[in-house]
Structure 1
Amino acid sequence: MPRKVAIIAISSFPFRVRHPNYTYYRMAYETTKRVLEDAQLTIQDIDSAIYGIYNDFFERQFMPDIIVHDYIGMILKPGTRVTTGGATGGYAIRTAYMEVASGLSDVVLCLGVEKSNDCWDPDTESRTPELVKAISYSADCEYVRPLGSFPAASYVLPVVAHIEKFGNPSEESMARVSVKNHGNAIGNPYAQSPMKITIEDVLKSRYISEPFKKLDCCLYSEGAAAMILASEEKAKEICKNSGKEPIWITGIGAGNDSNFGGLREKLWSLTSNVYASKQCYKMAKMSNPLKELDVAELHDAFTGQEILSYEDCGFAKHGEGYKLIDEGIVEEGGELPVNLSGGLIGAGHAVGATGIYQGTEVVRQLRGEGRRQVPDAEKGFLHSVGGPVTAYCVCICMERK
């Protein structure tokens, strides 16, 4: 039987357009320092580390994890890098969980960092072309990348297929997600894009990849996030000293779909999400997530993706996800608030750190430390997605016991 695993400490480094005075390893160091302070531990207390770092081109360094490993003082201890696109953070947590659950380590650092906007295109004297070029290597380089693949075009495929099959989500429903998540980011010191906007503002913003408009999309960020996972025995010992409440991982599921959208059985459904969430709920002994969960952080790289995820994660029937945003069910104060942090759209997307950061926000809610605190929150959900056409997915249930 796997051992019980708890999240015993968290920290975040603000997501911003740029941190010109910080290298990626300096951000990693500062975030590690803060997470150790949260647990009242030293780096010597950490048995191993899992690093979430997506793109070598972003960091301008192949194998950036070994630089981070040295810089934070983990020399001679094991460290493993995870890179699964936007799901890098979620898969990093899953890998850290396995390290503890298996008995290989008692206390594990899970650290994500990304410095995406150091990319620079000298021809246009801007970052965007080089950033998109760096991301494009995640697509099949033989067949897909030469066609000009970029993230919005990849994520728009299932949304357009969903619209063709069910007639929704409408651009107005997607705009409501943008208004919600940008608004939820207000007051979040780690968020890149807090702002009060209207549905009309979203609808008037320019198209990026129809039906996605500019304000339907997240922004790439520079930032970092970390958590420390521990075995039951160590968690109780450490938390007794730190005064922090351990948050237990009660369910975890993962699934990878084909990176070719055309090979999928249902293009209108993110089937990796369906598979991963069902695994997660089964392990957590949960049958009705909409009723049983108190808070959720979903990967909302684009507004339409969040709406499809309501369905694929079991919050609504297929074809009815739009009702959750239109009827306020996923708003602050609703039956199941989603992305109270602001999500990727409001808080930003520092790719390797994103899933870990959203995990820290679930932990804050379950500790009772949330900025938009859900009263008496007991159960939370993390959803981390990435890769071409959302090929990767990790879902994690957490509980305060």
Structure 2
Amino acid sequence: MRTERLAAPLALLLLLLAGGALAHDADLLFAQTGRSQPGAPQVHARLTMTVSTLEVLLSNRTDEEKPVSQKDLDARHPALAVGVWDRASLRTPEGPCARVGQTAQWHETFVELTATFHCPPGPVWQTFGLLSVLPPRYQVVWSRPGGGQGVSRVVDARQPQVVVSDAGEAPQRVPGLAGWVHLGMKHIFEGADHLAFLAALLLVGGTLKRVLALVSAFTVAHSLTLGATALGVLPLDAQRAHWAEVAIAVSILYVAAENLLVRQPRYRPLLTFLFGLVHGLGFARVLAGHGLEKSGLSELLGFNFGVELGQALVVLPVLPLMRLIQRRPAVHRKIVVLLSGAVLFMGINWLIERVG
């Protein structure tokens, strides 16, 4: 049967997702660069990144132990200058800027690096050459200090340069909100655990009305915790972020196991809402893990909208296929067992990695 033949490719797709890295890989850096005041020679630069990202940058310059505390970070002052700031250089039409100072601050979930440069008047170009050292998936979210509309952009290795403009100069046109929407979509597409959870839900979703109820419950729940955490209402330190990741793995395990053991699961909308609260903490971890929680409300809304848009792009094409398969109960049950087994395997794998 044609529908039955679809089971193996779908299972293979899920297993390929399982073989990848964790859903919240450290693939973002957050940068702010700007003059202390219009026309002033001092330019302040700030970079935040996860510890694992910093380890990648420093491992290319030294074989010493990686920084694991503020004391270790202070001891790596020269390595930071070479491994980070020499690779995030600034220049003007008159020549390169001179770095006159730098600091490094250890946080629970990320590292904050700052530097001060002396630059001639005029526009300043910053080139994030460090992206050439990092894996291709890495990007820099850049903005001017103080935020504002239209002054954020996403930088990658193909276009690693931004222009830092004074207030009196014509501002560079950059896709601020669109960049955050893109990041939200990117996160959901690369978030194998969130996709696995949605896949497990859709396998026994039932009627279109029931599926919409499940997706809506998940959307509302993770939007609540994402917003509360990113806005500082719900603190998310390193320990809580770790257990949130563990809980996400548990949610995947539970839904997959329920698919295998119960033909018509009850209370799915309620459970989906509760699990959605936990997945929202996972989304918030992406922001907090890179220091991005200091961004404004518009950036948060853009990121969340990107998550929702990415989720819709995943769910909508799958629904007609699932409705077609559900017309053949025997085939549907085989596919549910096969794919739920694959999701169960993924959940076990993530749980072991995150608990360990």
Both structures adopt the same fold (TM-score exceeding 0.5): no
**Structure whose residues are more often helix by fraction:** 2
TM class by shorter chain equals: under 0.3
TM-score normalised to structure 1 length? 0.26
Greater Cα radius of gyration, structure 1 or 2: 2
Structure with bigger RCO (C-alpha 8 Å, 6+ apart): 1
